Chains A and B, each alone.
Chain A
Amino acid sequence: MPKKNTEFWAGIVILLFSIAFFITSFKYEYMSDAAPGPGFLPRWISGFLIICAVIYTAKALKTPGNIRIVDDKKGLKKIVNLFLALIVFAVILTTAGFTISCALMLFMILRLELKWYTSLITAVITSVLLFLVFYYWLLLPFPINSFGF
Chain B
Amino acid sequence: MESLGSLIDGFITAATGWNLLYCFIGITIGMLIGIMPGLGPTAGTAMLIPITFGMDPISAIIMLSGIYYGAMYGGTITSVLINTPGEAASVITCIDGYEMAKKGRAGTALGVAAIGSFVGGTVSILALTFIAPAVSKVALSFGPPEFFCLLMLGLSMLVGLLGKSMIKGLIAAFFGFLVSIIGLDVVTGAVRFNFGTLHLLNGIDLVAFVMGLFGISEILISLNEPAKALSAPAEVKKLLPERNEWKPTFASIGRGTVIGFFIGIIPGATAVISTIASYAVEKKLAKDPTRFGKGAIEGVAGPETANNAHAGAAVIPLFTLGIPSSPTIAILFGAFMLHGLTPGPRLFQSNPKFVWAIIASLYIGNLMLLILNLPLARIWSRVAYIPYKVLYPMILVFCVIGAYSINNNIWDVGVMMAFGVIGFFMKKLSIPMAPAVLTYVLGDQIERALSQSLTMSRGSLMIFFQRPICIGILTIIALIIGFSIYSKSRNKGLSIVDDTEG
CB–CB A56/B454 < 8 A: no
Interface size on A, residues (CB 8 A): 62
List chain A residues, Cβ under 8 A from B458.
34
Q: Does A79 sit at the interface, judged by CB under 8 A?
A: yes
Q: Does A116 sit at the interface, judged by CB under 8 A?
A: no
Within 8 A of A (CB), among B138-196: 167-168, 170-171, 174-175, 177-178, 181, 185, 187-188, 190, 192-193
CB–CB A56/B223 < 8 A: no
Which B residue's beta carbon lies closest to that of A112? B389
List chain A residues, Cβ under 8 A from B404.
142
Within 8 A of B (CB), among A105-147: 105-106, 109-110, 113-114, 122, 126, 130, 134, 138-142
CB–CB B400/A42 < 8 A: no
Which A residue's beta carbon lies closest to that of B185? A38
List chain B residues, Cβ under 8 A from A49.
171, 174-175, 178
Within 8 A of B (CB), among A25-73: 28-29, 31-42, 45-46, 48-49, 52-53, 55-56, 59, 67, 69-72
CB–CB A75/B224 < 8 A: yes
Given A42-B192, A82-B396, A102-B397, decide whether A141 and B414 contact each other with a Cβ distance below 8 A. no
Contact partner, B401, options A38, A76, A140, Cβ 8 Å: A140
Given A35-B454, A90-B414, decide whether A7 and B181 contact each other with a Cβ distance below 8 A. no
Which B residue's beta carbon lies closest to that of A65? B429
CB–CB A126/B185 < 8 A: no
Q: Does A86 sit at the interface, judged by CB under 8 A?
A: yes
Question: Within the assembled complex, what's the spacing in Å between the Cα atoms of A52 and B167?
Answer: 6
List chain B residues, Cβ under 8 A from A16.
none
Given A35-B187, A41-B447, A45-B174, decide whether A6 and B429 contact each other with a Cβ distance below 8 A. yes
CB–CB B397/A35 < 8 A: no
Contact partner, A38, options B50, B188, B429, Cβ 8 Å: B188
Contact partner, B225, options A14, A71, A113, A138, Cβ 8 Å: A71
Contact partner, B177, options A28, A45, A110, A141, Cβ 8 Å: A45
CB–CB A89/B188 < 8 A: no
List chain B residues, Cβ under 8 A from A134.
401, 405
Cβ distance A28 to chain B, nearest Cβ, rounded Å? 6
Which B residue's beta carbon lies closest to that of A37? B188
Q: Does A24 sit at the interface, judged by CB under 8 A?
A: yes
CB–CB B455/A126 < 8 A: no
Question: Within the assembled complex, what's the spacing in Å between the Cα atoms of A109 and B171?
Answer: 34
List chain A residues, Cβ under 8 A from B417.
83, 86
Contact partner, A75, options B167, B185, B226, B447, Cβ 8 Å: B226
Q: Does A21 sit at the interface, judged by CB under 8 A?
A: yes
CB–CB A59/B454 < 8 A: no
Question: Within the assembled complex, what's the spacing in Å between the Cα atoms of A115 and B446?
Answer: 52
Return 6 A-B CB contacts under 8 Å, by A number: A21-B193, A36-B187, A41-B177, A69-B425, A83-B417, A140-B405
| Chain B interface residues (CB < 8 Å from chain A) | 50-51, 54, 167-168, 170-171, 174-175, 177-178, 181, 185, 187-188, 190, 192-193, 219-220, 223-226, 389-390, 392-394, 396-397, 400-401, 404-405, 408, 410, 413-414, 417, 425, 428-429, 446-447, 450-451, 454-455, 458-459
